[in-house]
Chain A
């Protein structure tokens, strides 16, 4: 089916070339990092994880978000998602590949990456994360490919594939659960050390992932003559609204616990993220604008998606609403959650993190790679759809 990715109009090739440019820049930037070391990133002794791990964390959520289509379609037989489920599965594939690339970019000794397999350590959540991420990636490739092939041949998918489709549902939940466990099981990091980290991750994932799928569906409608169907889009938007509200509700509970209990450790990171943290006469607040942008975009997105006029009347407003929610939760989880957790340091000192240009180029390049893969996968999926219709 790959041949479908090799035929496209000028816009298709221009878009791939555009992404290819950023990939090329990132390759050069990564080679530089590989030969010089992580010193050319903004990461430090105190903030030892930066953009790479925060993007990884966010993208695991995007990958898991696809299950919000798979689950209603296969478990509840919600037929309207029939055309669009493949978009969720292919989004998961490209998001997971980005995740794995971000992990590799972050390693100090990338050539030793296989040590995680050679010396399996079931006590480490990173070991389990590797298992579920690879498992979910393979399941999505398998299910997506088999279902698409059957569709092309206009036969029902083979019975055995349903076992793997049903298996992929708990796997979707597990990838984000285990990713949250990377953080919430660490003693002494108050902001992360809370059981609500896991449900909060899932809620934000089930909003951000489907939001991106809606944006993709709207773009495909314009550029590829692929209509996901009004009912499907409308149902996804409902899912996004509830999941987004749940995420912000959980965050509000964090505020309550921190400020009502008045325990300094529980308040420090929230103060740092939202108001700026005063320490020895200096105020540290480099993430404050991002966090308020997150709150503002959440409300903008919520308004656009909840108001029937903007939600159903106009694709542009609908797309902007989804983009607002996606960006908001990227700021929340792809920036604030990971970076904020390191402030203050265990020795009550404050180091702020500023990514370097090299690091930003690598980050953009990995995103571009993900969208490159996504474009090709969607091209194949839609090529098959058109072939069947013709």
Chain B
């Protein structure tokens, strides 16, 4: 959501406050989505694509994304553990033993869990055994951002969906809204479960939601997210700007067939998988 749209929402919100009522809400929702489409569709030739891929035609604006190559994870079974460890230790993600209270930013899961819509009876052995990483999809149209009652989670101008841990009230509406199950809640005080505190990064307090933020602090200074760096030269994870047609990620997207998690929901994820 760019600044213009945020301002628009503010104005629209105040005007609907005056209207108070179901029809006013519907009117506002329709109006704002209409505006978003108009903004995305600059350049008539690419309008169709723009609708599928967000602000692709908007050259000045970045939209960070990631490609995950499943073949690399088949070739090197230890890779999964490495990226999870790199992420969680860099971001001070606590290692809570009770699965009920678990905090996860990136983790390895099975193909049938991540892509249950593409799952069928006669799958090949490689897919059957495949473990693949899942993380926040940094959707172009994130449902978690839409439902947050305090704007504690929002979409940065560079497409990264981030959290303001000091504003979050812990209502967990975003957890119900995320169709990918990528958000974790600090049910328990996290400090005792962080073994090696990374002094350069804050840790969270109890009672707030957290999730992957593409290592927003690193990408701001030109570094790669911790998980991408942990992959080394394997190119298992490739990170880059989806709005830049010359970026490596766009090159890979042109050359490979990629899939998304739950594309039918229209959230437009920024994390792509090469099977």
- Residues of chain A touching chain B, judged by Cβ–Cβ distance below 8 Å, are 37-39, 41-46, 48-49, 103, 106-110, 112-113, 115-116, 118-128, 130-131, 135, 170, 174, 177-178, 182-183, 185-189, 341-342, 345-349, 351
Q: What residues on A are CB-neighbors of B186 within 8 Å?
A: 37, 108
Task: For residue B165, give the distance in angstroms from its CB to the closest CB of chain A.
Answer: 10
Contact indicator B146/A123 (Cβ below 8 Å): yes
Is B38 part of the contact surface with A, judged by Cβ < 8 Å?
no
B 18-45 binary contact with A (CB < 8 Å = 1; else 0): 0011100100100010000000000000
Chain B residues within an 8 Å CB radius of A130: 149
Q: Which residues of B contact A177 (CB under 8 A)?
A: 22
Q: Look across to chain B and name the residue whose beta carbon is closest to the beta carbon of A124.
A: B149
Chain A residue contacts of B167, Cβ below 8 A: 112, 115, 119
Closest CB of chain B to A298's CB: distance in Å? Answer: 27
Classify the secondary structure of A's interface with B.
loop
A148 vs B242: C-alpha distance when bound (angstroms): 64
Which of the residues B9, B13, B32, B189 comes within 8 Å of A37, measured between beta carbons? Answer: B189
Contacts of B13 in A (CB 8 A): 120-123
Most buried by B among A110, A124, A349: A124
Query: Which residue on chain A has the smallest CB distance to residue B114?
Result: A347
Please judge, given known A-B contacts A121-B151, A124-B148, A126-B171, whether A108 and B176 are in contact too, CB under 8 Å: no
Whole-angstrom distance between the Cβ of A124 and the nearest chain B Cβ: 4
A121, B149: Cβ atoms under 8 Å?
yes
On whether the beta carbons of B266 and A126 are closer than 8 Å, the reply is: no
Chain B neighbourhood of A116, CB < 8 A: 149-150, 169
With A48-B175, A48-B185, A108-B169 as contacts: A37 and B267 at CB distance below 8 Å: no
Partner of B22, one of A45, A174, A185: A174
B170 within 8 A of A: yes
Closest 3 A/B residue pairs (Cβ): A108-B170, A188-B179, A108-B207
- Known A-B contacts A107-B169, A116-B150; the reply to A186 vs B185 at CB < 8 A is no
A64 to chain B, nearest CB (A): 14
B203 interface residue (CB < 8 Å to A) = no
Sample (17) of A-B pairs whose CB atoms are under 8 Å apart: A37-B189, A39-B98, A43-B187, A45-B181, A48-B175, A109-B170, A112-B169, A115-B150, A122-B25, A123-B147, A126-B173, A174-B22, A186-B177, A186-B179, A188-B179, A346-B180, A347-B134
- Give the size range of B's interface with the partner: 35 or more
For A345, the closest partner residue in chain B by CB is: B181
Q: Which of B56-64, B99-107, B230-238, B247-255 contacts A (4 or more CB under 8 A)?
A: B99-107
Collect the chain A residues with CB atoms within 8 Å of residue B173's CB: 124, 126, 182
Contacts of B149 in A (CB 8 A): 115-116, 121, 124, 126-127, 130
Q: How far is the CA of A178 from the CA of B12 in the complex (A)?
A: 18
Closest Cβ–Cβ distance, residue A341 to chain B (whole Å):
8
B275 lies within 8 A of chain A by Cβ: no
Given the known interface contacts A109-B207, A119-B151, the answer about A37 and B187 at a Cβ–Cβ threshold of 8 Å is yes
* Segment 158-188 of B: residues with Cβ below 8 Å from A: 167-173, 175-181, 184-188
Q: Known contacts A45-B102, A170-B21, A187-B266; is A122 also within 8 Å of B176 by CB?
A: no
Within 8 Å CB of A346, what residues of B? 178-181
Residue of B102, B145, B187 contacting most chain A CB atoms (<10 Å): B187
Cα of A341 to Cα of B177 in the assembled complex, Å? 11
Indicate if B152 sits at the interface (CB-CB under 8 A). yes
Contacts of A42 in B (CB 8 A): 100
Known: A48-B175, A187-B143. 20 other contacts (CB 8 A): A37-B186, A37-B187, A39-B188, A48-B172, A48-B185, A49-B172, A108-B169, A109-B208, A112-B167, A120-B17, A121-B151, A122-B16, A135-B20, A174-B22, A186-B177, A187-B179, A188-B180, A341-B176, A346-B178, A351-B100
